[in-house]
Each structure stands twice: as C-alpha cells, then as structure tokens.
Structure 1
Amino acid sequence: MGVTIHYRGTLDCIESAHEMEDRALDLVFSLGGKATVWRSFADHDPYRVIRGLIVEMAPGQDTLSLIVSPEGHLTPLFQIEEAEQSAFTEPPYCFVKTQFGPIMGHVAIVHLLLALKEQYASNLEIIDEGEYYETRDLHNLRRKQAFLDGAIRSMASELRRHGLSDEAMEDPDIVVKRIERISRPSQREGYIPQSPKDMDCSDVRRLVTARTCSQRRSCGSM
C-alpha cells in the first residue's frame, strides 16, 4: 500500500553515463536532495562496472536508484549484484515509494526522471501511481496520498484495537483475514481525510526547466 513511481529504461548512449550523473547530481542538489556516487564491479570481470547515483530526494521517501548497468540499463538497488554478474535480458523495473514523504518530493522525482528521459534515455518508461506524471494534476496526487494516509492510520488503529493472540499471530491465514475484515469499513465509507496543507510545487517544475536549459546552453558552448 502506498504511492509508488515505477520506471525502467536504457541510456541512449552508454558513453553518456558520466554526463548523466553530473546532470542528475546538479538537479538533485538544486531540489534539496542528497546523492551518493556508486561504483562496483564483478569479481570475475573488473571491466564490468556498475555505476550511478543513489538518491535521497526527501525525508520519508524510499531511495531512488539511478544506477546503470554496463549495458546502460537503469538498475534497482537489489539487483546490483545480478547486474555485476551478467547482462539483463531486458531493462528491469525500478521503483520508489513516495507515500511517506512530502508532496514536493514526489513531484521532484517525476521531473528529475523527465529531465533524464529527455536528455539521456528517450525510451524511459514512467508509471506513476499518483498519476502526476500522466496528468500533472497536483490536487489528484494530494487526494491519493491523503486517502492512503488515512487508510494506513485506520488499519493501524484497528489492529491495535483488535489485537491478536500470540497463537493467532503464528497463523498467516488468521492475520490476513483479520486485516481484510478490519479494512472493509473504510472501504465502505469511502473515507477520504482532509487534504494536507496546500503546497506550491510549480517552483520544482521551473527549477528543473531552468537547470535543463542552462545545461543545454553550456553544452552547446563547449
């Protein structure tokens, strides 16, 4: 349960990996995020280098992987070792859950991925469960996040109120049935909690656009 952004793709040119890192670092830092540069290689082949960035865009969000395999495929963190050993048959899916972070963090990730798609990975697929990527509808993103926040709080409260015995906790079927039962009231009532405080995320879009334009000018002058 949660708002998640799924993405997968391959660099148009593997030689652009270093430049992609520099551009992504600039955008991440400009948007208030943090990033760690990653390098690793296969034990059997030191030339098979895995490289890229591990990004912490906003508190509460999952880590964003901008790790690239030797073939140029964006690679999820849990498949780094697999990428070290051999080539993927197709680009793997990466994902980042943003449910427990600020709205601005979700928006920032979408626009970061869009900038990378435009400049370095034209085949990048992006699937946004918050539908912001597809619609740019910030109100709908807030509504979805608020609904899921309310559902999670409601389920946690009900689990505390209807505690299970130690014996019952050992039986997965009992746990699943209890969760299904206590989750139904919220579904029947269509509970949607009050939206979080309004946030103006247009600055994120403007900043990414400005940075991208600036980078293009500097590249053109080189």
Structure 2
Amino acid sequence: METRFLGIADLPEVPSVAVVVDVMRAFTVAAWAFARGAERIVLAASLDEARALKERHPDWVAIKDGPSAPGFDAVNSPGLLRTMDLGGRTVVQKTTAGTVGALAVKDAHLVLCASFVVAEATARLLRQRAGDSATFVVTGEDGRADEDLACAQYIAGRADGTVTDAAGFLRRAATSRAAAELAEGVRQGVHPDDVALCVELDRFPFAMVAAVEGPLMVLRPHTESSAPA
C-alpha cells in the first residue's frame, strides 16, 4: 500500500482514503467517548457551531479544547472524560487540530480518525478497505507533531505488515513536544493521566469512521461485527 504523510495545509487534493491522526488528544478522547457509551460524535467546524448544536440539542454533550467554557459540558481530556456516563448520547467535539483535519477530508471515500488506542483496529480496516493507497493526515503542529507522525507511521506499518514492534513509536509520542506541554501544564483542561492514556496501545477494539450525514460530519465506532454484510 502506498502511503503519504501530510499536514492539513499540505493536502494537494481530497484523497480517496484518509487517516486523520490526533494522538494528543482529540481522537484518544473520541475513542474514550465511545468506550463510555457515546452513540456518535459530531465533528464541529467552530466553537460557535458546537455551541449552536448544543443549544438546539440540550441533551448532546459538547467538548472543546482548553479550559471549561459556557455552553460546553467537558474538555478534551481523556483523563477527565473516562469517568463520564455517555450511554446513548451524541457528543459534539471541536478541537484545534483533529476535528479540523477530519473536516478537511470530509469528501474522501473513506475517512478514519485514529490514535494509538485504536491503532490495530484502524490498521485492520485499512487492510480490508484502503486498496492501493492511503493518506495519513498529521494534524498537530502544522503536520510536524511527532506523536501524530509516529502513530501514523505505526498504523501504516501494521497495515502493510512491515512493523511488528510499537515500542519506538510509543516512545516518540511519550517524549514529544505535545506530551511535555501536557505534563508541564502548558495546555489547559488537562488531567495528570492524559499523556499515559494517549500512549496506551490498542486499548479499544474498534476503529473510528467519519462520514457526512446530512449537514454534519459524524464519527462512529466500527468493529468487524458492525461492518455491512
């Protein structure tokens, strides 16, 4: 499988298959939301859109980067989200990088949103459905975030069978600039366990597939049992 690793701004066109990677923390949080029972995640284009969706649907759970803010129920932290009961709920998520990357490739034939916690399930789905090529969208730091690139390279290697050992990739993520900023409190809306939760490998058995549903870009969990016959 031919693979490309590009930042959001470097995408020359909408790819057929896109894997949007945000390890710290959008798509680690999204995976935890599904693990806590969320039915779907609506990826919002702006904070104003997220607030408007919340206002129209008060039972939805709105999540954003940074500190708590009026109109939002939670912040983009896996450590804080892991105790929430989201059974059957719709989550609205707006982040600085991950949701932006997913919306940039919303017209792709297949959009997967990924992090280390869903790496193997993502690689498995790529093997089944990607065909000859896939574009990995490295969302953090204008495409330079080493935690996202490491995760993208690991998933690509698992998909084509060339990578068996995750240790070096996880080490790069754990020592990345983003990890340091979370650990040192540079970023707001952080739990002390966030970095450790973001570098857990294959915590969850599902991949995450995003698709346009009406006016919304919606992320849903995907397992082999949920695939159409």
TM-score (norm 1): 0.32
**Which one has more relative contact order, counting CA pairs under 8 Å at least 6 apart?**
2
Task: Give the number of the structure whose residues are more often helix, by fraction.
Answer: 1
Task: Please tell me whether Structure 1 or Structure 2 has the larger radius of gyration of its CA atoms.
Answer: 1
